[in-house]
């Protein structure tokens, strides 16, 4: 399997610098330094995290979705990023709803300069499973907005991703807050593309159990084959998963702050949030919806909101009960930890596949013969500071 992957044998400096470029923002030098320390980056390397200034070119791949909608509004109200495109994918609800929902958010934010492209209607090899039970039948918790006057561009999402990455090689970060079908399709049809993508910042995955099955987080569960392509692509990945997003429940106080602000973005966000909270109550949930996707965007804007740890992450694709599970390998975590290995590079820690069956002549496959991280994984969050950023930007107070 490893022979089919793009090599990940980069140095610690190269990996951290690449990951950091996905996380850094122009006016946050102090935050970057804190993030660097939290990630275990030596002081001599921390300058690598501070060499670029905003705005950062990003493509947002999304399946709106309550939290997607607020994440889009947050990104469009943030001067640190230059949004080159928004690409819609089927996920929380079908593409027939995610695409117009994305167009509505662009129009509400007054950002009709941002092109919106239609993406995949279904996962790579599976039937679509949606989350209307969580997001309502229209994806926005039942909040209704006028039909958008703008239309998507003609290019399909995967093709448009390829065009933009090739136009700005090593300068585009993909912020993925839905299933990874569009990104995997782009990578599959353009073998040179992965080397040109600056980084992927994803809301997806979990190292602590799932939210649609006991094992799998929804975005990865919907298209685990696509997720595996992305994780094995060699692109530096920042993973903001359920380990931290579970700690970001929207409350009545947050909604009231949004309702009090008199601007189109805050009013739209408040309407979506209010309907989402009511929908959660009707479904029997005890807390408001978690702001999964908004946290991924916020973590890109200010990485000091989160604590980070480097893992090699891969995706289960064949398990009857575990398809979509993300597994994190580390030489200093869990029962596989090895004393004194924290500061060593190239630790001899084989990444193993499943044990062979009695009827097979295969041996247990070694997928990698040593530990090389491919992901910077969020492990904790300052929820209060996150909501200060989210509500502050949406309300126009930041």
The residues facing 375 across adjacent strands are 237, 311
Question: Using CB atoms within 10 A of its CB, is residue 338 exposed (0-12), middle (13-18) or buried (19+)?
Answer: middle
What does the angle CA 132 – CA 138 – CA 143 come to, to the nearest 5 degrees? 115
| Contact by Cβ (8 Å): 180, 202 | yes
Strands 375-381 and 366-368 come out as unpaired
Cis-peptide, bond into residue 55, ω within 30° of zero: yes
Instruction: Report how far residue 288's alpha carbon sits from residue 251's, in angstroms, rounded to the nearest whole number.
Output: 6
Phi, psi for residue 309 in degrees, rounded to 5: -145, 140
List the one residue out of 287, 271, 349 whose CA is nearest residue 69.
271
Q: How far apart are CA 73 and CA 78, in angstroms?
A: 9
The position carrying tokens 């353009």 is 190
Q: Which of 135, 254, 279, 292 is catalytic?
A: 292
Examine the residue annotation and report whether 292 is marked as an active-site residue of this protein: yes
Q: What distance in Å separates the CA atoms of residue 161 and residue 181, rounded to the nearest whole number?
A: 12
- Is residue 139 within 8 A of residue 64, CB to CB? The reply is yes
Please state whether beta strands 306-315 and 172-176 pair in parallel, antiparallel, or not at all (unpaired). unpaired
Structural contact between residues 145 and 272, judged by C-beta atoms closer than 8 angstroms: no
**CB 138, CB 97: distance < 8 Å:** yes
Distance CA 396, CA 77 (A): 8
Tokens 């990940």 belong to which residue? 8
3-state secondary structure of 243: helix
What is the C-alpha to C-alpha distance for residues 251 and 273, in angstroms, rounded to an integer? 9
Q: Catalogue the active-site residues.
A: 292
């Amino acid at each position: 399997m490893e022979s089919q992957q793009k090599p990940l044998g980069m140095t610690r400096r190269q990996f951290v610098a690449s990951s950091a470029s996905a996380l850094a923002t122009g006016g946050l030098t102090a935050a970057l330094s804190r993030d660097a320390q939290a990630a275990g980056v030596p002081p001599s390397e921390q300058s690598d995290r501070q060499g670029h200034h905003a705005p950062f070119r990003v493509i947002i791949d999304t399946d709106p979705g309550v939290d997607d909608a607020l994440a889009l509004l947050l990104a469009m109200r943030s001067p640190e990023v230059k949004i080159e495109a928004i690409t819609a994918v089927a996920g929380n609800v079908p593409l027939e709803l995610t695409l117009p929902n994305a167009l509505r958010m662009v129009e509400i934010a007054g950002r009709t300069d941002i092109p919106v492209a239609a993406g995949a209607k279904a996962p790579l090899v599976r039937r679509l499973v949606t989350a209307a039970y969580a997001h309502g039948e229209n994806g926005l918790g039942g909040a209704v907005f006028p039909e958008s006057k703008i239309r998507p561009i003609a290019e399909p999402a995967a093709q448009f991703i390829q065009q933009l990455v090739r136009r700005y090689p090593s300068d585009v970060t993909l912020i993925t807050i839905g299933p990874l079908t569009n990104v995997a399709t782009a990578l599959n049809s353009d073998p040179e593309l992965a080397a040109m993508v600056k980084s992927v910042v994803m809301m997806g995955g979990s190292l602590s159990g799932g939210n649609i099955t006991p094992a799998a987080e929804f975005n990865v569960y919907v298209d685990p084959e696509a997720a595996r392509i992305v994780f094995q692509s060699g692109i530096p990945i920042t993973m903001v998963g359920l380990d931290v997003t579970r700690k970001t429940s929207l409350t009545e106080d947050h909604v009231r702050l949004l309702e009090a602000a008199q601007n189109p973005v805050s009013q739209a966000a408040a309407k979506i949030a209010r309907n989402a909270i009511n929908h959660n109550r009707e479904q029997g949930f005890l807390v408001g919806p978690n702001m999964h996707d908004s946290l991924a965007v916020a973590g890109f804007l200010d990485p000091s909101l989160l604590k980070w740890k480097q893992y090699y992450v891969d995706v289960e694709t064949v398990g009857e009960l575990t398809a979509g599970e993300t597994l994190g390998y580390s030489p200093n975590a869990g029962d596989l930890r090895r004393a004194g290995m924290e500061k060593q590079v190239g630790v001899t820690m084989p990444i193993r596949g499943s044990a062979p069956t009695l009827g097979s002549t295969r041996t247990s496959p070694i997928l990698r013969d040593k530990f090389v991280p491919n992901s910077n994984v969020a492990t904790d969050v300052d929820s209060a500071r996150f909501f200060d950023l989210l509500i502050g930007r949406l309300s126009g107070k930041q």
